[in-house]
Amino acid sequence: MAKSQSVPRNSWMRGIVSVFLCLIAIVSFTVLVPSLASARTYTAMIIDADTGKTLHEYRPDHKVYPASLTKIMTLYMVFDALERGKISLSTRMKVSKRAWGQAPSKLGLKPGETISVKDAILALVTKSANDVAVVVAEHLGGTEIKFAQMMTTEARRIGMSRTTFRNASGLPNRGQMTTARDMITMAVALRKNYGKYYHYFATQKFRFGNRTYGNHNNLLASYYGTDGIKTGYINASGFNLVASVNRNGKRLIGVVFGGRTARTRDAQMKKILDQAYVKLIKEGEIIVPRPRISPEDKILPADAQLLIAKRNSLREAEQPGRIDTQTIVTRMKPENTAGWGIQVGAFSDQRRAQEAVLAAARTAPDVLRLTRAAVEQQTNGTGIVYRARLLGFDGENEARAACAALRRENLACIPVNAGDAG
């Protein structure tokens, strides 16, 4: 009887020991091989693109995961192939099963379909489509592995000494590493060597099939002078951004890695760019023009790339905490206002209307990045009223959804028929 009872007890003990040993192995593996997520690190750098002067840096040579910033090099290789005549913008590239099977973000291309080089460029810039990145890699390199080797070779050639590419998309791979300094080097080389294609990075909308995709780079619509270039995210890297900004003839290129959210990443990039411009103004390298107001036209474009500039005098530059923001309005002819929009306020003061538009754009960039901001001047019985609006929604339902998003952030908003003069 005792013997029959000892067998299950021994089995039970052996089971406990096995579980204990497994736990020890798991803990040891975790200590020795840290997860990708633990590698997330903040790094940043700002340079004067004309002189190469460093205006801000924080751990610029610390290795990090590039995420979808990888696609900047993928596009660099596309532009090189275009220049060499290996492909044209109309060249059709075939979708493989491997490309089809990539993780999102992607266009959802099916095996056997084709996509033109031009559409591929726009899909990489705006949607950051991983399936398209593989299509490009296989077309230019035969395989994605071979293409990644080509990318790394080119990276070394242009001075990216601490960067290694393992794929064309930026999807997680422990061996795919870069630095903030190397990303700056790549952005500078791209503009220098393939400047004729750089305008693609300013694309805010891309229509493919029955869908319209917006650019993930929110600075294009919320930070004056931004004309590129790309965002990136994987869990291991956090939210990343390479940005190119041109104000008053002075171009800065900035890199931020390791943002907790897209919003905090964007805010940090704006902060260090502002500080860099203040520094250049203080040193006399930028002469800021006086504000000019041209209220004659009915519609004054109010998106940040045309409208808003930080006007900092030398006196204000010496006191960064007291910078005054002035409005520069570029005169333009009225645009077609048909369709639906939203109104975020009506003011007797033009500047307050412009500030309301920008506040809305910054509060809900994902919802509003496909819209065109406008300040409309209207004369009524009591004088001039400036209506702050964002136009370009496909229909009333989209406009109402945008208002709902703004109201959740305690901003006033009403949907409007953009052609309505009332």
What does the pLDDT read at residue 295? 38
Q: For residues 331-356, give the mean pLDDT.
A: 69
Q: For 149-164, write each residue's pLDDT tens digit.
A: 999 999 999 999 999 9
Record the pTM. 0.65
More confident site: 246 or 6: 246
What does the pLDDT read at residue 236? 95
Is 299-417 in the same CATH topology as 38-282?
no
* pLDDT score of 187 more than 70: yes
* pLDDT score of 3 more than 60: no
Q: Compute the mean pLDDT over every residue in the chain, rounded to the nearest whole number.
A: 80
The CA distance from 279 to 91, in Å, is: 46
Q: Could you tell me the pLDDT band of residue 106, with boundaries at 50, 70 and 90?
A: very high
What does the pLDDT read at residue 16? 52
* CB half-sphere exposure, 252, CA atoms < 13 A: 28
The residues assigned a catalytic role are: 68, 71, 128
* pLDDT score of 245 more than 70: yes
* pLDDT score of 318 more than 50: no
The CA distance from 243 to 271, in Å, is: 13
Helices 144-157 and 70-83, packing angle to 10 deg:
90
292 exposure class (CB count in 10 Å sphere: 0-12, 13-18, 19+): exposed
Q: Could you tell me the pLDDT band of residue 36, with boundaries at 50, 70 and 90?
A: very low
Q: Is 112 left (phi over 0), alpha (psi -120 to 50) or beta?
A: left
* pLDDT score of 289 more than 60: no
Q: Could you tell me the pLDDT band of residue 11, with boundaries at 50, 70 and 90?
A: low
Q: For residues 302-313, give the mean pLDDT.
A: 35
The answer, yes or no, to whether the previous bond of 253 is cis (omega within 30 of 0) is no
What does the pLDDT read at residue 418? 67
What does the pLDDT read at residue 406? 86
* pLDDT score of 61 more than 60: yes
Q: What is the layout of strands, in order, in the sheet containing 238-247?
A: 54-58, 43-48, 250-259, 238-247, 226-234
What does the pLDDT read at residue 383? 66
84 exposure class (CB count in 10 Å sphere: 0-12, 13-18, 19+): exposed
Q: List the chain domain ranges.
A: 38-282, 299-417
Q: Is domain 38-282 given the CATH code 2.60.40.1120 in the classification? A: no
* pLDDT score of 290 more than 80: no
Residue type at position 65: Y
What does the pLDDT read at residue 124? 98
The CA distance from 196 to 130, in Å, is: 24
Q: Is domain 299-417 given the CATH code 3.30.70.1070 in the classification? A: yes
